[in-house]
Amino acid sequence: MRISSILKGPRRVRRVVHIVRKAASHGLGFLVSRIELQRYLPTWVRLPTWGRQAEPEELASEFASVLEELGPTFVKFGQMLATRPDILPPDYIHELERIYHHVAPFSAEVSRGILADELGSPVETVYRDFSDEPRASGSIAQVHDATLHDGTPVVVKVRRPRIEQVAEDDVAILTFLAAQADKVEEFQPFRFPMLVEEFARAITQELDFISEAAYTHKFRERFKDDARIQIPEVYWDYTSERVLTMQRMTGVHLSELFGDGGASVDKSEIARTIMDAYLRQFFTQGVFHGDPHPGNILITDQGRIALIDFGLVGRVSAELRRKLGICLIALGGGQLELVAEVLSEIGRLPDESQADELREELVGLLDRHSSVPLDKLDLQRSFLDVMGVIRKYRVQVARDFVLMGRALVAISGIVTRLDPDLDIASLAAPYGGKLLREKLAPSSVRRSLTTGGYHLGTLLTEGPRELRRLVRKLQSGMFEFTVRHEGFEKGLTELDQTGNRLSLSVILAAIILASSVLLDAEIGAVNILGWDVSLLGLLGLAFGSVLGLWLVVGILRSGRL
C-alpha cells in the first residue's frame, strides 16, 4: 500500500520527506532503512539516508532535537513521551523534558479576526479593553489580557490559525510511521502505535478549548467550598472551540516563594494546603491537575492558592483509587509484599511466568527506599526506579497512572522546597483508610453485588444460547478462526510487487512483439529515411521503450536485481 493513498496526497508525502531529512541530518537516517519506508512511497520520491550515524550515547539528544525542529505537533508528542518513563529509558525522558518550540506570536489583527468569527461580534463589542500585545505565545495558542464590560479582568486564549490542519497531517504521518516501526522487533517494546493513539486523543482534546473550559469549570465546582483554593471562572458566553475566556488570576508564582522569598507568608501552611489539595484530587475526586509545576500555581493577592492551566488532566478510576488506598495502608504497616502485589496487579504483565520475579524486585526496591529517612528520600529517583522495573518487565500500565505518579512526585518536590519538615506520609495516610472504609461500606458492597449479579445473570441467561450457536456452527462446518501472522504482511507486499513486475514484463513483451509486427504493415505507413514503416508500430515501440526503462529504473532503485 502506498503512503500517498494512506496520507491523502502529495502535501503529506512532502512532509514525510522533510521528516526523514531532519532525521538524517541528526544521524538518525539509519532508522528509515530499518522500517523500510522507501518501498511505501511513490517511485518519484527518493528518501535521503545519508549523513553520519549518531553514536549510541547521542541518540536520545538527537531524537529530542529532531522532534523540536519538526514543529509544534512533534514537540507536543515529545512532551507526551516524556510522561512515559514506564516505556522510555531515563536518558530519553531527560532529553524530551527539555524540548520547547519557540513560536513567534501571530498578529493582533489575526487574533481579532478569529475572535470575531468565533464569538459572532467584533472584539470591541465583546470586551471593553483588549490588549493587542499577547501575554504569552505557544505552539497551540496565544493569550491576551482583556476586560469585560462589567470591569472583570480576564485572559483570552486564542488558537493559532490552521494549527488543526498541521496537527491532523502530522498525526496521520505519526500513525503510519508508528505502524511501520511496530513491525520491527527491536521497536516493539516501545509500543509506538499505542503512544500515537494516546497522543492523537490528547492533541484533539488540547485543540478543543471547550474541553479545557469544561475541566476548569469542573475543578472550580470541586473546590468551591474550600476558601483556601481558587480556580479561574470560565465565561461560557465568550468561549468556543477556538477561544477560551477565563478569569484573570493575579498574584505571585509559587517559585517566587522558594529560598528566601515570601518571608511575609506562612510557607508551611501553603505547603500543607497544596499537598492536601492534590491528595484530594488523587484519592477522592478521581480527576487531577496533570501539570503541577510552580508556574501553574499562584498565591493570589488575597492569600489563596490558585491552580491554573487545565490543558493536561488525568483521571483515576474508583478501582485504582481503592488499590492505591490499600498501598498507603500497607506502606504504613510495613507490608511491602502486599504493596508489591497490588502494584503488580495494576498493570498487565505480558509474560505471567515472570510475575514472581516482578514482585520480588518490587519488594527489594521498596525495602531499599523505605529504609531511607524521609528528609533524605529522593522521590524522583524512587519513582524512576519503580518505572525502571515496570519497563524491564514490559508491564503495560495506564497512562493516567504514570501521569499521577509524576504529578505526585512533582508536587511533593514543590511542597518540600516550601517546608522541608512537612510529613507527607501523615497527610496521605487518612486517605488510605477512607478509601478502605468506602470499599467496605454497605453502599459499595451493594453496588459490587449488583454489578456481579448482573454479569452472573447475563452469563446464566445468555450462556446456553451462545453455546447452542457454537455447536450449530461446528455441525454445519461454518466455524471460523482468524489467524494473524506477525511479519507476514511484508512478505505479501513483496510478493505483490513481484507479481506486478512480472505482469508488467509480460505486457511490455507483448507490446514490443506487436509493435515489431506492425512495423512492416501498411497501416498508417510513413517514410522515414527511405524506409516505409508503420507509425502505429513506431509509437508502440516508443511506448514500450519508456515503459521498459521505467521498469528497469524501479528495479535498480529498489536495490534488488
pLDDT in tens, 401-442: 888 888 888 898 888 888 888 888 788 878 777 766 665 556
328 and 427 co-located in one domain: yes
Q: How confident is the model at residue 14 (pLDDT cuts 50, 70, 90)?
A: confident
Residue 128: how many other CB atoms lie within 10 Å:
13
Contacts of 359 (CB under 8 A, 6+ apart): 337, 340, 341, 344
Q: Is residue 433 part of a domain?
A: yes
197 and 296 co-located in one domain: no
The mean per-residue pLDDT over the stretch 256-276 comes to 83
Domain end (from 440, 459, 477): 440
Per the structure block, which three cell numbers stand in for 185? 522487533
Q: How confident is the model at residue 255 (pLDDT cuts 50, 70, 90)?
A: confident
244 and 258 co-located in one domain: no
Calpha distance 90→383 (Å, rounded): 11
Write down the pLDDT at residue 417.
86
Calpha distance 250→289 (Å, rounded): 20
Write down the pLDDT at residue 123.
94
Instruction: Kindly report the length of the chain.
Output: 561
Write down the pLDDT at residue 147.
96
Q: What are the backbone dihedrals phi and psi of residue 208, each rounded to the nearest 5 degrees, phi first?
A: -100, 105
Calpha distance 539→131 (Å, rounded): 69
Write down the pLDDT at residue 481.
63
Q: How confident is the model at residue 365 (pLDDT cuts 50, 70, 90)?
A: confident
Query: Residue 250: pLDDT above 70?
Result: yes
524 and 418 co-located in one domain: no
Q: Is residue 26 part of a domain?
A: no
Write down the pLDDT at residue 61.
92
393 and 499 co-located in one domain: no
The mean per-residue pLDDT over the stretch 251-280 comes to 84
Tell me what percent of the chain is helix, strand and coil, each rounded to the nearest 5.
65, 10, 30
Contacts of 79 (CB under 8 A, 6+ apart): 96, 97, 99
326 and 377 co-located in one domain: yes
Query: Residue 210: pLDDT above 90?
Result: yes
Q: Is residue 533 part of a domain?
A: yes
Highest mean pLDDT among 183-192, 199-208, 340-349, 473-482: 199-208
Write down the pLDDT at residue 1.
45
Write down the pLDDT at residue 4.
47
Write down the pLDDT at residue 34.
78
Q: How confident is the model at residue 270 (pLDDT cuts 50, 70, 90)?
A: very high
Write down the pLDDT at residue 209.
93
Write down the pLDDT at residue 508.
76
Domain end (from 197, 229, 248): 248
260 and 275 co-located in one domain: yes
Calpha distance 538→549 (Å, rounded): 16
More confident residue, 42 or 257: 257
Q: Is residue 67 part of a domain?
A: no
Q: How confident is the model at residue 152 (pLDDT cuts 50, 70, 90)?
A: very high
Across all residues in the chain, what is the average pLDDT? 81
Query: Residue 115: pLDDT above 90?
Result: yes
Q: Is residue 120 part of a domain?
A: yes
Q: Is residue 30 part of a domain?
A: no
**Chain centre to alpha carbon of residue 313:** 13
Per the structure block, which three cell numbers stand in for 560? 534488488
Highest mean pLDDT among 98-107, 188-197, 373-382: 188-197
Domain around 345: 254-440
Q: Which of 175-184, 413-422, 510-519 has the lowest mean pLDDT?
A: 510-519
326 and 425 co-located in one domain: yes
The dihedral region occupied by 553, where left means phi > 0, alpha psi between -120 and 50, and beta the remainder, is: alpha
- Helices 399-418 and 267-280 pack at an angle, to 10 degrees, of 170
Query: Residue 187: pLDDT above 80?
Result: yes
| Pairing outcome for strands 525-528 and 313-315 | unpaired
Highest mean pLDDT among 107-121, 341-355, 454-468: 107-121
**Chain centre to alpha carbon of residue 538:** 58
The terminus-to-terminus CA distance of the chain in angstroms comes to: 22
236 and 273 co-located in one domain: no
Q: Is residue 468 part of a domain?
A: no
Domain end (from 248, 281, 308): 248
221 and 259 co-located in one domain: no
Q: Each residue of 453-473: pLDDT tens digit? A: 666 777 777 778 778 777 777
Highest mean pLDDT among 97-106, 389-398, 452-461: 389-398
Query: Residue 527: pLDDT above 90?
Result: no
Query: Residue 151: pLDDT above 60?
Result: yes
Calpha distance 80→314 (Å, rounded): 13
Query: Residue 477: pLDDT above 60?
Result: yes
Query: Residue 93: pLDDT above 80?
Result: yes
Structural domain total, the chain: 3
Q: Is residue 169 part of a domain?
A: yes
Per the structure block, which three cell numbers stand in for 513? 512483439
Calpha distance 279→428 (Å, rounded): 7
143 and 222 co-located in one domain: yes
DSSP for 437-482, written as a single string: HHHHSHHHHHHHHHHHHHHHHHHHHHHHHHHHHHHHHHHHT-----
Write down the pLDDT at residue 380.
74
Write down the pLDDT at residue 459.
73
The mean per-residue pLDDT over the stretch 274-292 comes to 90
Query: Residue 351: pLDDT above 60?
Result: yes
140 and 184 co-located in one domain: yes
Contacts of 82 (CB under 8 A, 6+ apart): 88, 93, 96, 97
Q: Which of 295-299, 468-472, 528-532 has the lowest mean pLDDT?
A: 528-532
- Proportion of the chain above pLDDT 70, given as a percent: 81
More confident residue, 234 or 189: 234
pTM (whole model) above 0.85: no
What sign results for the dihedral spanned by CA atoms 482, 487, 489, 491?
negative
